[in-house]
Structure formats: C-alpha cells, structure tokens
C-alpha cells in the first residue's frame, strides 16, 4: 500500500477581515513554525495596509507555537502595534497564553479570553479607539 504524500506547506491557519478585525483561526493540533508565522505576517500586511487593525486569534486544542515563531510575532506586532485578542477553546491553551502574556510581556495590547464574543468585542473596541486617535 502506498503512503499519501504530504504537501510541502500547509498553512495551519485561516485568516480573513471582518468589521475591521483580522480573524486568525488556528487548526486543531497545528504546529506553527517560523515559516508559518512569516506567512501570517505577510497576509496581515496585505489585509491591513494601515498596520493597526486588531487581530482576533482563535486557538483550537493542541496548537503549538514554536518559540522562534512566537518571538518573531512578538517583535513584528510590537513594532506595528496590532492589538491581539486570543480566544482559546481549551484551558491548557489559555494557560499557555497567560504565561506568554506575563513572561514575554508583549509591547502590544494582548488579552486572553475564554469566550469568542468577549474577544471579538474587545478587538472591535481597540479598532474604535484607533479610529478616534486617527481623527484627533
């Protein structure tokens, strides 16, 4: 029996824009490496020319982000200022996100949520605040 060949690159996420918020949904069991994070950053830049749209990240169960990919995200988002609302579907992922928040101390607004609606509301509020600042 022949084994199926895996593709060279399968992005472990989906990304789209809705109501001024960039939505990033991670696949269950995804392992995010530097190349994946670079693709995510490139797509965010293409979807958000202003560089200030909030990002709603949705982590499914068993998502693993390599340390080097996390460091790249922190550096780029810190420079660009994208607020990040992380919604985690399981307690383990939320706990890991809280550790990231307290240990890495990202330079961008970062909050962890157990409910998608709360995360989306917070992200939209960040968008509204950015629009107010731009008008001033």
The per-residue pLDDT for 79 is 62
- Per the domain annotation, does 2 fall within a domain? no
State percent of the chain over pLDDT 90. 25
Is 69 inside a domain boundary? Answer: yes
Has this prediction a pTM greater than 0.85?
no
Q: Which H or E element spans position 103?
A: helix 91-104
- Which residues on neighbouring strands pair with residue 15, listed in sequence order? 24
Within-domain flag for 19: yes
Average pLDDT, the chain: 83
Other C-beta atoms within 10 Å of 120: how many? 20
Residue 76 included in any domain: yes
Residue 124's SS3 state is helix
pLDDT higher than threshold 60 for residue 7:
no
Query: Which among 59, 50, 60, 54 is positioned nearest to 22, based on CA atoms?
Result: 54
Domain housing 29:
13-135
Residue 71 in domain: yes
**Residue 23: inside a domain, yes or no?**
yes
Looking up residue 110, the CATH number of its domain turns out to be 3.30.750.24
Element (H, E) at 88: strand 84-88
Question: Within 13 Å of residue 90, how many CA atoms lie on the same side as its CB?
Answer: 12
Task: Indicate whether 75 belongs to any domain.
Answer: yes
Interval 18-43 mean pLDDT: 89
pLDDT digits (tens, 9 = 90+) for 72-118: 877 776 666 788 999 998 898 888 889 888 887 887 888 999 999 99
CA distance 57 to 111: 10
What is residue 29's DSSP assignment? T
User: What pLDDT is recorded for position 122?
Assistant: 96
| pLDDT for 2 beyond 50 | no
* Number of domains, the chain: 1
Cα(43)–Cα(25) distance, integer angstroms:
13
Residue 4 forms part of a structural domain: no
**Tens digit of each residue's pLDDT (9 = 90 or more) over 44-63:** 888 888 777 899 999 888 88
Q: Which of 92, 84, 25 is nearest to 59 (CA)?
A: 25
């Amino acid at each position: 029996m022949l084994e199926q060949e895996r593709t060279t690159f399968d992005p472990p996420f989906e990304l789209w824009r809705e109501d001024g918020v960039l939505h990033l949904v991670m696949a269950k069991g995804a392992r995010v490496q530097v190349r994946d994070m670079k693709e995510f950053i490139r797509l965010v830049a293409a979807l958000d020319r202003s560089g200030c749209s909030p990002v709603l990240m949705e982590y499914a169960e068993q998502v693993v982000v390599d340390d080097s990919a996390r460091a790249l995200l922190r550096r780029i988002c810190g420079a660009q200022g994208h607020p990040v609302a992380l919604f985690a579907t399981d307690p383990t992922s939320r706990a890991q996100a809280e550790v990231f928040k307290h240990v890495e101390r990202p330079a961008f607004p970062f909050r962890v949520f157990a409910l998608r609606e709360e995360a989306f509301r917070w992200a939209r509020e960040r968008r509204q605040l950015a629009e107010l600042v731009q008008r001033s």
